[in-house]
Structure 1
Amino acid sequence: MTSLPSLDQYFTNNRDRHLEELTNFLAIPSISALSEHQPDMQKAAEWLSNEFENIGLENVSIEKTAGQSVVYADWLHAEGQPTILIYGHYDVQPVDPLHLWETPPFEATIRDNKLYARGASDDKGQVFMHSKAIEALMNVEGKLPVNVKLIIEGEEEIGSPSLEEYIQNNQDKLAADFIVISDTGMYGPGQPAICYGLRGLAGVQIDVKGPKGDLHSGLYGGGVQNPIHALVEILASFRDAEGTIAIDGFYDQVRDLTEEERAGWAALDFDKEAVKKEVGVKELTGEPGYTYTERTWARPTLEINGVFGGFSGEGIKTVLPSEAGAKITCRLVPDQEPDEIVEKLRAHIAKHEPVGCEVTVTEFDKGKPYLTPYDHEVIQAAGRAYEQVYGVPTVYTRGGGSIPIVAAFDEILNIPVVLMGFGLDTENFHAPNEHFHLENFDKGLRVISSYYGEIEKLGL
């Protein structure tokens, strides 16, 4: 049985060393979206490989995929105990705009008990915590209470294009009783949460082509279709005046929330005024008939992420542009299928295509939504582990974001996924000044260690 006081002392005694090691990991600019960082991707994979060997894991390997490498390791000597597959990623987002960072993004800095660096929260810091929990158990107990396998990829920030094939080809190697992923967040400071569902994703780019080149708006305006006007007409057709998505069949497959879920979420201490202050708006808006948490956790969306075309420099240029475009993403919920939603988008755009221009639609990221019963015993065990350390009841939520590979794990390996995160929504992941609250780093190490003990008690 896991000795929590001894582990607590181990984490206290080794905290400075752990933070120094994490600083070294964060110093590697492993940006998967930028080809010039390919050597850094390899360096990060090698860093993890060395880390896993040093803490006593076995069968450590850097495995090639069609894209970035996967780092694999395991320890399988807990006879009669379940096997946990731990997933995470070592790639990070680009750092632009660089001038908004208060300190260099790859030089980890501690301010106000927060660790600032790209990847501190998403996801290097949380991957590192699992490694250090294993290290502590191996040093204090001489073994792990359960079996573990780790798979850490390098393409999550670009949609994990190579990982699904890797999972398909390595099902026996990755066989486990359930998966643990620490790439989500808590409900709020001091309030742990288990995320039992994620929204899916479907992204497209709309390109509108008009005349063969930019035209003088005085000579041709009013007689030739303006691609920006045509684009605006298409974009405006996506929603009605109240914000409901107006695409035929868009809501047909949406699974309704249960009354139990709605009641549970309504009971949460949601602070609407705090959200408005945090994001800097006067009002919150959205689909009628649903609360803010319901809209952002369990209802589908269609958002315009970017619009481009024409002249946008200083001053004015009287031009009728040749082309314009927009990037669109839809967040999807059970039981919506990304391919079906993209086809509905295509049909809607074709139906509303203005005359005098050509419209093309290009598909981008796609990922299925994920949902698992939150009363599953391995999820409830995670809730108990949080409660032991944080001293408050765990809340059960869904996440508004997407981790597309989660649905692939669920479908291919057919085992539960436990989304056990330690970040906070305010930590600027994907933005300048990303950081990780060290209070949650410290407590998270203890939660993970406690969780392995809770799983041992289940006797699965």
Structure 2
Amino acid sequence: MTRDAAIAAATRQFDERGFFADLAALVARPTESQDPARHEELGLYLSEAMVPRLTGLGFDCRLIDNPDPRGGPLLIGSRIEDPALTTVLTYGHGDVVRAQTDQWRDGLHPFRLTAEGDRLYGRGAADNKGQHLINLTALEAVLRVRGHLGFNLRIILEMSEETGSPGLAQVCRDHAADLSADVLIASDGPRLQAGVPTLFMGSRAALSFDLAVDLREGAHHSGNWGGLLADPAMLLVQALACITDGRGQIRVPEWRPAGVDAALRAALADLPVIEAGGPEIDPDWGEADLTPTERAFAWNSFAVLAMSSGVPEAPVNAIAGRARATCQLRYVMGTDPDDILPALRRHLDRHGHHAVCILPRDGDPVAATRLMPDHPWVRRVAASVRDTTGIAPHLLPNLAGSLPNDCFAGILGMPTVWIPHSYRGCCQHAPDEHALASLSRQALQVMAGLWWDIGEHDARR
């Protein structure tokens, strides 16, 4: 009954290929939440794959119908050993993005786990089936060695994260008592560098929307009508150009954070933003007075995700009647999510772009979250990770990407510590998604050590 024994048990599960077999079974389930035809698969993932596993670990489980018709079902489970003990909430999502089957490399299939060298290919291997499987496998190892956890554990699994987590916030409100805990400890997203564990404690939020110029039905000959009919594409690009300047610095006043305070700047100072194998950053892009790390984690960023006018794949000599761009703002704490689109409307009107319509794409905007590295729970988790790996983890106040952390930090009011088990080159949301075998093996050890340490802490109080 030792910490080392629990870590060794988790390691054996990987080395003897038990983890691979379990992950292969989960990857084989085509849980594409973006495809309405897969809706039944979302429920089966919970009822057939997760409920038996969790009940075998001593959890009381129940399936929750999503209050939002756009979303899939959810699972809430609890293993309460003693109400006086620390209670941890954990989270995962079993849905995946569209398979994109025809775009995967020869020899690979999104719903077949394939090992090649250090890579484990399969849709969900990194996002998020592999990550919550690691946490549950490590939990099993602790129970196998110690016979109990030494703390209480609650879990919520959703099946709609890849469509914006519709209904999750309402479920957290409706079932707050069943989800109450001292801390959220969960896994999603990537490490900053594959070889160094990362803890992040919040996330930027994201809001997507369309900008559209709709002037007339159909297209008209550019020779007969050029110079007489307004071009919607030109109106649209001029509107886009007033949102940022030539280096991408945001010009909408309400979209600009108040600044980067000294504590946040210090927390970000030594964190890497570039990883081997990733694209080279453009040093003259983004907020000029900030470091690249501060631009990614402490500031807002605007992007045009897609745009069209006419028929790009088969252009003709005609002035289109419509133009459209899908845009996104990633934003940090201090940005009022309810004022993002109204502020943009005011800004466009000030610049004379009255013909541009703003069309929301997401549901209600959510708040960005952040927790600083000096929080007691961050220090506890970081110390455990360091004891297991011998490596001081990167401590990131908030992720540059987005996940539904406000449901836990805001609605449920608890500190949140995320321990990602993937890396930035994993091709999540793209063909050839994969996890790293070496990283997964280390992550099993990290989580077994952490679950052990949480129980050991309560035993010593």
TM-score, normalized by length of structure 2? 0.92
2:212 aligns to what?
A: 207
Query: Structure 1 residues 225 and 379 mapped into 2: Cα distance closer, same or farther (>3 Å)?
Result: same
2:369 aligns to what?
A: 370
Separation (CA, whole Å) in 1 of partners of 2:351 and 2:202: 34
Q: Which amino acid aligns with 1:436?
A: A
Are 2:358 and 1:361 equivalent residues in the alignment? yes
1:307 aligns to what?
A: 307
1:296 aligns to what?
A: 296
1:44 aligns to what?
A: 45
Are 2:168 and 1:166 equivalent residues in the alignment? no
Are 2:264 and 1:261 equivalent residues in the alignment? yes
1:396 aligns to what?
A: 395
Give yes or no for contact 2:272–2:293 (8 Å, CA) kept in 1: no
Query: Structure 1 residues 147 and 293 mapped into 2: Cα distance closer, same or farther (>3 Å)?
Result: same
Deviates more, 1:114-123 or 1:71-80: 71-80
> Structure 1 stretches of 5 or more lacking a match?
none
1:363 to partner: Cα distance: 1.2
1:453 aligns to what?
A: 452
1:108 to partner: Cα distance: 0.4
Query: Structure 1 residues 347 and 9 mapped into 2: Cα distance closer, same or farther (>3 Å)?
Result: same
> Structure 2 stretches of 5 or more lacking a match?
none
Separation (CA, whole Å) in 1 of partners of 2:60 and 2:329: 40
Separation (CA, whole Å) in 2 of partners of 1:399 and 1:339: 21
Query: Structure 1 residues 264 and 13 mapped into 2: Cα distance closer, same or farther (>3 Å)?
Result: closer
Q: Which amino acid aligns with 2:293?
A: T
Q: Name the SS for the 2:422 alignment partner.
A: coil
Deviations 1:220-245 (A, max 9, x none): 11101111111111111111234321
Q: Which amino acid aligns with 1:86?
A: T
Separation (CA, whole Å) in 2 of partners of 1:12 and 1:181: 20
Deviations 1:75-118 (A, max 9, x none): 11145320001011111111226324340011000111221111
Candidates 124, 136, 140, aligned match of 2:145:
140
Cα RMSD for the two superposed structures: 2.0
Are 2:130 and 1:153 equivalent residues in the alignment? no
Query: Structure 1 residues 442 and 265 mapped into 2: Cα distance closer, same or farther (>3 Å)?
Result: same
1:189 to partner: Cα distance: 2.4
Query: Structure 1 residues 34 and 284 mapped into 2: Cα distance closer, same or farther (>3 Å)?
Result: farther
Separation (CA, whole Å) in 1 of partners of 2:311 and 2:337: 34
Deviates more, 1:324-333 or 1:58-67: 58-67
Q: Which amino acid aligns with 1:362?
A: L
Are 2:112 and 1:107 equivalent residues in the alignment? yes
Separation (CA, whole Å) in 1 of partners of 2:182 and 2:298: 27
Q: Name the SS for the 1:198 alignment partner.
A: coil
Give yes or no for contact 2:221–2:317 (8 Å, CA) kept in 1: yes
Give yes or no for contact 2:210–2:327 (8 Å, CA) kept in 1: yes
Query: Structure 1 residues 255 and 84 mapped into 2: Cα distance closer, same or farther (>3 Å)?
Result: farther
Deviations 1:200-252 (A, max 9, x none): 1222111111122211111111101111111111111111234321123322x
Separation (CA, whole Å) in 2 of partners of 1:455 and 1:9: 18
1:172 to partner: Cα distance: 0.8
Are 2:242 and 1:245 equivalent residues in the alignment? no
Q: Which amino acid aligns with 1:52?
A: L
1:431 aligns to what?
A: 430
1:256 to partner: Cα distance: 2.9
Separation (CA, whole Å) in 1 of partners of 2:282 and 2:218: 41
1:77 aligns to what?
A: 81
Query: Structure 1 residues 264 and 409 mapped into 2: Cα distance closer, same or farther (>3 Å)?
Result: closer
1:42 to partner: Cα distance: 1.7
Q: Name the SS for the 2:29 alignment partner.
A: coil
TM-score, normalized by length of structure 1? 0.92
Q: Which amino acid aligns with 2:265?
A: R
Give yes or no for contact 1:378–1:455 (8 Å, CA) kept in 2: no
Query: Structure 1 residues 454 and 13 mapped into 2: Cα distance closer, same or farther (>3 Å)?
Result: closer
Candidates 190, 194, 197, aligned match of 1:192:
197
Give yes or no for contact 1:85–1:174 (8 Å, CA) kept in 2: yes
1:264 to partner: Cα distance: 4.3
Separation (CA, whole Å) in 2 of partners of 1:159 and 1:311: 29
Paired-residue identity, %? 24
Separation (CA, whole Å) in 1 of partners of 2:327 and 2:217: 25
Are 2:88 and 1:88 equivalent residues in the alignment? no
Q: Which amino acid aligns with 1:428?
A: C
Q: Which amino acid aligns with 2:81?
A: H
Give yes or no for contact 2:168–2:407 (8 Å, CA) kept in 1: no
Aligned length: 449
1:337 to partner: Cα distance: 1.6
Deviations 1:59-89 (A, max 9, x none): 1122211231111221111453200010111
1:124 to partner: Cα distance: 0.6
Give yes or no for contact 1:353–1:359 (8 Å, CA) kept in 2: no
Give yes or no for contact 1:201–1:338 (8 Å, CA) kept in 2: no
1:198 to partner: Cα distance: 1.2
Give yes or no for contact 1:381–1:451 (8 Å, CA) kept in 2: no
Q: Name the SS for the 1:148 alignment partner.
A: strand
1:447 to partner: Cα distance: 1.3
Separation (CA, whole Å) in 2 of partners of 1:63 and 1:377: 33
1:65 aligns to what?
A: 66
Separation (CA, whole Å) in 2 of partners of 1:390 and 1:284: 37
After superposition, where does 1:224-239 map in structure 2 within 5 Å? 224-239=229-244
Separation (CA, whole Å) in 1 of partners of 2:282 and 2:180: 49
Deviates more, 1:185-194 or 1:325-334: 185-194
Q: Which amino acid aligns with 2:40?
A: P
Give yes or no for contact 2:7–2:449 (8 Å, CA) kept in 1: no
Are 2:227 and 1:222 equivalent residues in the alignment? yes
2:34 aligns to what?
A: 33
